[in-house]
Chain A
Amino acid sequence: MIRVDSVTVKYDNENEAVSNISFSIMEKEAVGLIGANGAGKSTIMKAMLGLVPFAGSIHVENIEVVRDNIRKIRRKLGYVLQNSDNQMFMPTVIEDMMFGPLNYGHSHEEAEKIADQALIQMGIENLKYRHNHKLSGGEKRMAAIACVLAMRPRILLMDEPTSALDPYNRKIVIDRINEIDRTKIISSHDLDMIMDTCSRVILLSEGKIVADGNAQEILTDKALLEKNHLELPLRITRG
């Protein structure tokens, strides 16, 4: 479904944010991208979306990520940004949710129907007419995910979906993520959440893949995690 071949991303001429990495992701797979700060997790996601220039090749459902295909690619991928404030730019939740469907040529009525379905899917129908700047952190995160779901993407990319959430909202977000039956790529430091939501994990360090495999195996490998500036998930540490 997604094929990343020898991808290198440089933000300036010297430092490589991502260095010659390759991996494939199958349909309906839930993959966790983990790694310390600056490991290249967000960069590789942005490369998939065509937001940063890269060397190598990325294919999404056999379509190569190049300038000419960027519209097709972005219709397939839904990206939940790390900071929901940067994602929600319209005055109200419903306007934000309808923004994508309207851009893709749906009528006003269709767009509202699609938005309603996404709100129901995330269990936030009550937020429909609320002003974005009046939402709490958890509500904003749920609304941001709903906005992306309203685009009906085939693949969902999420950057730190549980960051800055309290335990209650974090649990709700995890439950909702698990209910989404699509290909998911989740980047996070929250290894407990990754354990709950992903069957496979790709561990990045300094722009390179250090480990790629079963989530349970990688997330319980204390030596591997500590070597890459991570720690065992709390549930394992606490037994």
Chain B
Amino acid sequence: MPDFDSAINELRLLDDISGKDSFIHRIHPVAKLITTIIYILITMSFDKYSLSGLMAMFLYPIFVFSSSGLSMKNGLYKLRYVLPLICLVGIFNPFFDKESLFNIGMISVSGGTMSMLTMVAKGVLCLLSSYAFVATTAMDSCCAGLRRLGVPNLIVALFLMTYRYVFVLIDELSNMLIAYRLRAPEHKGIHISAWGSFLGQLLIRSMDRAEELYNSMELRGFEGDFRYAGCRRLERSDILYMLILIATFVMARYINIARVIGGLFV
């Protein structure tokens, strides 16, 4: 069960990273959220053969990762589960679109290959930017941002409570797994005969804990509407951050920067 342990650690690590302090962490969540959404929309709007145009869009994740102290290696490592899916979607393109676009030496590059590579690049960029947003914005700040954008309180509260509940569930599961492992050291996983009672117990224990947590919230004045500690007003620096980046994305969308730079040398 080391995979489970590492998954728990990854989730906790993400929560820790999002609470760090850096220039990017300090940007208002609404500004970051809007920037990320626009970045994703612009990235997705690139032409299916425009791989070179898309190259400039890599600058944004690089900028956010380096400014916030995030590890690009970790970011890419986290894509390992989703990346195969993206590749799977585009894998048939080379078979359907065989028209040659250009040659690299003796090798002819077909439209299908280009569109597949573009699709993978778009996927990587969208996922990296989403990860950068989540890793630099504490969940409470995300929720405060969503509220400011007019998302109904019920949805935001549900989202936040679900996020908190995941940790409760993980804690309980972790304790139960330790207890199981100590008494069944030769089992590789949980034996099928124990699945039913294990899941039942997990559910009951988690519900008990969740109820206690909710009581604790109610006793401290919670009445369904979160007042977020990390919530502050949008400042001029936040708006400036958002506008500069969005302007850069729009510029990158209409000017093929890679081609312009390449033209300087060719």
- Residues of chain A at the chain B interface (Cβ within 8 Å): 49, 51, 71, 74-75, 77-79, 81, 83, 85-87, 89-92, 94-95, 98-100, 102-104, 108, 111, 131, 133, 147-148, 151
Contact = CB atoms under 8 A, between A and B. Distances in A.
B220 interface: yes
Contacts of B140: 90-91, 95
Nearest to A49: B219
B164 A102 contact: no
A204 B118 CA distance: 72
9 contacts: A71-B221, A81-B212, A85-B171, A86-B213, A91-B19, A100-B221, A131-B15, A148-B220, A151-B221
A92 B19 contact: yes
A133 B213 contact: no
Kindly name the residue among B138, B215, B222, B229 whose own CB sees the greatest number of chain A CB atoms within 10 A: B229
Q: In terms of DSSP, what is the predominant structure of the interface of chain A? A: helix
A104 B227 CA distance: 10
B229 A95 contact: yes
B219 A83 contact: no
B227 A103 contact: yes
A102 B144 CA distance: 13
B229 A108 contact: yes
Interface residues of B, number: 28
Interface in B213-229: 213, 215-223, 227-229
A74 B19 contact: no
Given A85-B171, A86-B209, A91-B140, A102 B227 contact: yes
Contact of A90 (B16, B171, B229, B232): B229
Kindly name the residue among B12, B139, B216, B222 whose own CB sees the greatest number of chain A CB atoms within 10 A: B216
A232 B137 CA distance: 53
Interface in B1-36: 12, 15-16, 19
Contacts of A147: 220
A91 B221 contact: no
B232 A108 contact: yes
Contacts, number: 69
Contacts of A87: 216
B231 interface: yes
B229 A89 contact: no
Contacts of B230: 95
Contacts of B227: 99, 102-103
B229 A79 contact: no
Kindly name the residue among B140, B221, B223 whose own CB sees the greatest number of chain A CB atoms within 10 A: B221
Contact of A74 (B138, B139, B209, B221): B221
Nearest to B228: A102
Contact of B231 (A103, A108, A151): A108
Contact of A86 (B212, B223, B231): B212
A102 B220 CA distance: 9
Contacts of A49: 219
A89 B232 contact: no
Nearest to B212: A86
B216 A103 contact: no
The 3 closest A-B pairs by CB, nearest first: A103-B221, A102-B227, A100-B220
Nearest to A83: B212
A135 to B, nearest CB: 13
Contact of B229 (A74, A98, A104, A151): A98
B24 to A, nearest CB: 18
Nearest to B16: A131
B15 A91 contact: yes
Given A81-B212, A98-B229, A108-B232, A151 B220 contact: yes
Nearest to A147: B220
A75 B221 contact: yes
A111 B216 contact: no
B220 A51 contact: no
B216 A89 contact: yes
Contacts of B15: 91, 131
B139 A91 contact: yes
Kindly name the residue among A78, A83, A94, A102 whose own CB sees the greatest number of chain B CB atoms within 10 A: A102
A89 B228 CA distance: 13
Nearest to A84: B216
A83 B217 CA distance: 14
B164 A89 contact: yes
A108 B140 CA distance: 14
B228 to A, nearest CB: 8
